[in-house]
Amino acid sequence: MVLRKAAIIGNVDNGKSTLIGQLLRQTGELKSDQIHKVERLSQLGGRSFTDLSLCTDGLETEVKEAKTIDISFKFIDTPGVRIQLADCPGHLEYFTKTASALSNSEVLVLVLDINSGITAQTSFLLKMAKFFELNSIIVCVNKMDTVGFCAATFEKVASAIKEISEGLEIKCKVIPTSGKTGENLVGRTEKLVWWKGETLMDCLEKQIEIEDKSEEDTWLGVQNVFGGSFSGASEQVQGFLLSGALRPGDFLQNRQTDCSVEIKSVTRWGKNVPFRIETGLVEVRVESKKAGQLRRGDWLVAEKKKADPRCKIKGVFLDLDVGNRSQLTVPVRLCRLFQSEMAELRLLESESDLSLRRFEATLRHPWVFPDGGGPRELRRIVATDPKTGTPLGVGFVD
């Protein structure tokens, strides 16, 4: 089963948690004991109705104060794909958590209360979506029940959101919803009889369609290397296929050492796999002239592809520690996928009003980057405090 990650974001109280709770209920993901728990929590929290936001807002303070403080993850299983829904807090003081979900998601749902329409925070969130390269998003114009499911009111908000998204070159699908009363999440209802477009679930299923990346350049990240003792320079590699194809008989190049390796066999969970496989974890037996040349953190890429190991990197960084930072050169642990390195991070000029800054960093050991763009995951870095592990920022290498 493939995992696809969706972040649900929006302004405070626009109905994100309720919408997720209702979606879980309508897709049958909420079992009867979980519904009972939500009913009990609703009573304890003094609600006069079954508050479905409590499916995700389970912390004591979240129940008491009726707000999301920390991200919680829920799952919906569809044939072949498990959709992970990250319920993000709307309060800007918890934005660090939202930023980490945004940096780690492939799908974005923006929930917008039809009564408040587009605010400064909506524009901020859209700019953040852009920064995290989420260029195709779903917008739920929510709480439609409060305007009597009025088509004209929906159209007004929908065209405003489309206009600012277009300005940012973000494609957006805008749909009317009511999380509380459950309209247009999974099925059609009479109250929104005028709506001929998609439901939220239709949109999610389209967004999670598995892209065929087998025609792209091959990028295989080495996570673990096992043995090689019994057959000369043959090694068993457990790795992460980011894009491209793996065919027995093909040669890949270890860009860290410039050694060439031949793929002997490809398996996933112990079973032989065809060469067109979904990206993700894979085991590969490789052979090369020299034994023991592969290490965790190496990247095997298609031969002749331009990709260079670099110690000096630069890019744009979302500073999550704004206001607390006293110096502009910060020792950090830089993380990318399963790699991490100690580095000196130098923060340069501001890029915009969004706490985005240019940065330069010097790594102790070189990392391989593709020339000119390449997969988002290869360029995304997270900087953490080396002593506490607290995230200091997230960014992308140029």
State how far the Cα of 274 lies from the Cα of 266, in Å rounded to an integer.
8
Asked if 299 and 336 touch (Cβ cutoff 8 Å), the reply is: no
Minimum separation from the CB atom of position 22 to ligand GTP (A): 8
Q: Is residue 273 a contact point for ligand GTP (CB under 6 A)? A: no
Q: Which of 89, 221, 244, 374 binds ligand GTP (CB under 6 A)?
A: 89
Q: Is residue 14 a contact point for Mg ion (CB under 5 A)? A: no
Query: What tokens does 393 get?
Result: 């920022």
Q: How many CB atoms lie within 10 A of CB 269?
A: 8
Q: Is residue 259 a contact point for ligand GTP (CB under 6 A)? A: no
Minimum separation from the CB atom of position 54 to ligand GTP (A): 9
State how far the Cα of 246 lies from the Cα of 219, in Å rounded to an integer.
10
Asked if 262 and 283 touch (Cβ cutoff 8 Å), the reply is: no
Minimum separation from the CB atom of position 272 to Mg ion (A): 45
State how far the Cα of 86 lies from the Cα of 199, in Å rounded to an integer.
19
Q: Is residue 379 a contact point for ligand GTP (CB under 6 A)? A: no
Q: Which of 7, 17, 103, 199 binds ligand GTP (CB under 6 A)?
A: 17
Minimum separation from the CB atom of position 139 to ligand GTP (A): 14
Query: What tokens does 116 get?
Result: 């408040």
Which residues from 179-238 bind ligand GTP, rule CB under 6 A?
179-180
Query: Pattern 355-374, binding to Mg ion, x per CB under 5 A?
Result: --------------------
Query: Pattern 128-167, binding to ligand GTP, x per CB under 6 A?
Result: --------------xx-xx---------------------
Minimum separation from the CB atom of position 178 to ligand GTP (A): 4
Asked if 136 and 15 touch (Cβ cutoff 8 Å), the reply is: no
Q: Is residue 12 a contact point for ligand GTP (CB under 6 A)? A: yes
Q: Is residue 98 a contact point for ligand GTP (CB under 6 A)? A: no
Gyration radius from the chain CA atoms:
23
Asked if 18 and 8 touch (Cβ cutoff 8 Å), the reply is: no
Determine the interface stretch with ligand GTP among 16-24, 35-43, 123-131, 334-342 (rule: CB under 6 A): 16-24
Which DSSP symbol is given to 244? Answer: S
In the chain, % helix, strand, coil (3-state, to 5) comes to 25, 40, 40
Minimum separation from the CB atom of position 83 to ligand GTP (A): 18
Q: Which of 42, 68, 207, 339 binds Mg ion (CB under 5 A)?
A: 68
Q: Which residues have CB under 8 Å from 319's CB, separation 6+? A: 325, 347, 355, 356, 357, 392, 393
180's contact among Mg ion, ligand GTP, none, with CB below 5 to 8 A by partner kind, is: ligand GTP
State how far the Cα of 137 lies from the Cα of 125, in Å rounded to an integer.
12
Task: Specify the residue, 14 or 100, whose C-beta has the smaller distance to ligand GTP.
Answer: 14
Minimum separation from the CB atom of position 14 to Mg ion (A): 9
Q: Kindly write down the DSSP assignment for every residue of 43-97, as one continuous string.
A: HHTT-SS--GGGGT--SHHHHHHTS--S-EEEEEEETTEEEEEEE---SGGGHHH
Minimum separation from the CB atom of position 67 to Mg ion (A): 6
Q: Is residue 17 a contact point for Mg ion (CB under 5 A)? A: yes
Residues that bind Mg ion (CB under 5 A): 16-17, 68
Residues that bind ligand GTP (CB under 6 A): 10, 12-18, 53, 66-68, 89-90, 142-143, 145-146, 178-180
